[in-house]
Structure 1
Amino acid sequence: MWLTAFVLKSFAQSRGFIFIDPKELTAAKDWIIQHQKEDGSFPAMVVSAEVEMTSYALLTYTLLGDVASALPVVKWLSQQRNALGGFSSTQDTCVALQALAEYAILSYVGGVNLTISLASTNLDYQETFELNKMNKKVLQTAVVGAFVFM
């Protein structure tokens, strides 16, 4: 993004000295506009090295057994993934997936044991669901009144 903007600016300034095809200027300008957000800002581009360095930091946290400090790192890394599940390069993808896998192993608590309680504000509706090893694949449902808002 920023390289395209810099080249566009440089070419526009050079028009008085050398021939610059106006179609090239228009194409670059249009490309930049297509990537601009509605609020006028541009998406932040994550550099491959940032993902890789962050992944090494996550590996360090997992080696130290520090799940709490690792969690924000995991969240940030997860947000950097592309539509195919990888990152921007082969190297950062390999390191990031290794780090995320190590975190998953460290943070796994084994088994499912969860109680979910739902209640309306005036307590005329209450429901409790138990999710455990025996029923984790069983669909549990409840009838909710017509005037329940979430």
Structure 2
Amino acid sequence: MIRKASAVWQGTGRDGTGALTSQSGVLKDTPYSFKTRFEDSPGTNPEELLAAAHAGCFTMALAFAIQREGFTPQELSTEAAVSLDPDGAGFKITKSALTLRAKVPGLSEAKFKELAEAAEKTCPVSRVLNAEITLDALLED
């Protein structure tokens, strides 16, 4: 399976602007720029997209793992917070902090933690990241 997205950039790094388009069409000339990345201007940025990819990948991996154990999640809600930190003359993505809140009737806390930790380590996005990944998982009633 191959999925594609493209970026078009015009101008300098600080004052230029770009647009992102994905194969599926979910992103179609979606703006990104220095201001959407380092300030709060409307648009997206690579770290936000990576956070969405990590949250989505991890949550789906966990849903499959829970299903294999014979349970059905009522809801799995994951936030990924991706950190972009200075690194020499540039920047580096150093961390993705996953926060999971789950409702899975009948699933024990111990089994939940086991499955969540395994999904964090094995989802494809976790495996491609060369950054610290943390997981705060809470099974709710």
Give the alignment's TM-score, normalised by structure 1: 0.24
Q: Which has the higher helix share?
A: 1
Q: Which has the higher strand share?
A: 2
Q: Over alpha carbons, which structure has the higher Rg? A: 1
